[in-house]
Structure 1
């Protein structure tokens, strides 16, 4: 589907690829962005995985996730160096050849000065057979889409530009709405009431998020639902419970 509203919930997984993420050398900045971005479109991010630069682990993760969710998005490992092995790993996952793609070659030959499209840079033009390109307005080296898997760069600015490029092509579901009720108390004081409210409003998801400052505990209670009426009713019950407990 292309930019359509889906009747059912649309789900996604995000696969972060790279030894540098697992070692802590690079701090991931993409997970939070993707979660916010997909939520705003009406796509539920259900799972995030981080895997090393290992062909088998990347391919196995891609195959597991693409069978489980509507979409899979990946970041990392499509650059010019020897350890950028995402493209070949995705090709292996789908059982297709990995070749220099004439479309990608043309983009990069135009981008680089004569003689600068080196063999290393040509690696960024290797695309699995049958894949579509994902536009990269930042540095021109494209990502690609094959099946329900979208393969993007790890550099946040480039990955974000690629998300903007593919957003119009994605099927979306009803957007998840939310309301927050502040409770000036530890979550333990309201836990039983929240459990009862959750049971009474099965179309909602209620989460409590405690914080502490100078020895004082407070709680943010977040109510989420795709049904606005159900959301309002549950939020009203939560607010009433907070008021009751605080006296």
Structure 2
């Protein structure tokens, strides 16, 4: 991950992911991009706030994209920019922005780096159709580019290609203060600490506190995760959580 050129800002920078494709909704293809993008953005100080999955239907893509791009700093789309008839993301993005779309000479040149002239058929040239005014996102894996228009970054659905594109995009993004996190294993069930944990959360309203149950080798257990952009607030809340856990363990003889 290359982030050395990324600009920083003290304010929160937000993002949404729009996953496009019937194959995701049918379960035929298992999404591997959402978690990767979420972790990537968190690590560079961008807060992912929403994820939507829509079918290969232009009206639904346009409606979702317009809702998200007006609500968040950035939108990242995955899927639907391939060579087949149902890859309609580029056309839908053009419709959302009210611009024309046509074969882009820059994109054709990129495709020509991989395919000889006799293989640049009509289907492959669909991947060179770019909305007017968009900037291209280089693709070091298969050469077919993604593109950026406004605050929307349009990337491939194939994970390895999407990841390569995200590495290209990341240095251009504005970032906010990173959200820090700390975790403590409670050694108790979630129901054992629920009431006391709510009191801790109430006492630290500017910190996010969550409990996540799991089964360990010794039985039911809970991880408590504290998140904040303020390291001092994080430390204070975590100290309170640990004190609460110790008190509840003592009550239950754990």
With normalisation by structure 1, the TM-score equals 0.97
Q: What is the distance in 1 between the residues matched to 2:249 and 2:218?
A: 18
SS at match of 2:210: strand
C-alpha contact 2:113 2:143 (8 A) present in aligned 1: no
Q: What is the distance in 1 between the residues matched to 2:215 and 2:198?
A: 22
Match of 2:73 in 1: 70
- Which runs of at least 4 in structure 1 moved beyond 3 Å after TM superposition? none
Match of 1:230 in 2: 233
Match of 2:152 in 1: 149
Q: What is the distance in 1 between the residues matched to 2:89 and 2:9?
A: 30
Of 108, 112, 119 in structure 2, the residue corresponding to residue 109 of structure 1 is: 112
Q: What is the distance in 1 between the residues matched to 2:219 and 2:110?
A: 57
Q: What is the distance in 2 between the residues matched to 1:214 and 1:231?
A: 29
Per-residue CA distance 1:38-62 (angstroms, 9 max, x = gap): 0001000000000000000001100
SS at match of 2:30: coil
SS at match of 1:179: strand
SS at match of 1:219: strand
Equivalences for 1:100-179 in 2 at 5 Å? 100-179=103-182
Q: How many residues align?
A: 246
Match of 2:244 in 1: 241
Q: What is the distance in 2 between the residues matched to 1:110 and 1:32?
A: 31
- For residue 136 of structure 1, report the CA deviation from its aligned partner: 0.5
Match of 1:92 in 2: 95
Per-residue CA distance 1:146-194 (angstroms, 9 max, x = gap): 0000000000000000000000000000000000010111111111221
Of 16, 19, 24 in structure 1, the residue corresponding to residue 19 of structure 2 is: 16
With normalisation by structure 2, the TM-score equals 0.94
SS at match of 1:122: helix
Q: Does 1:195 align with 2:201?
A: no
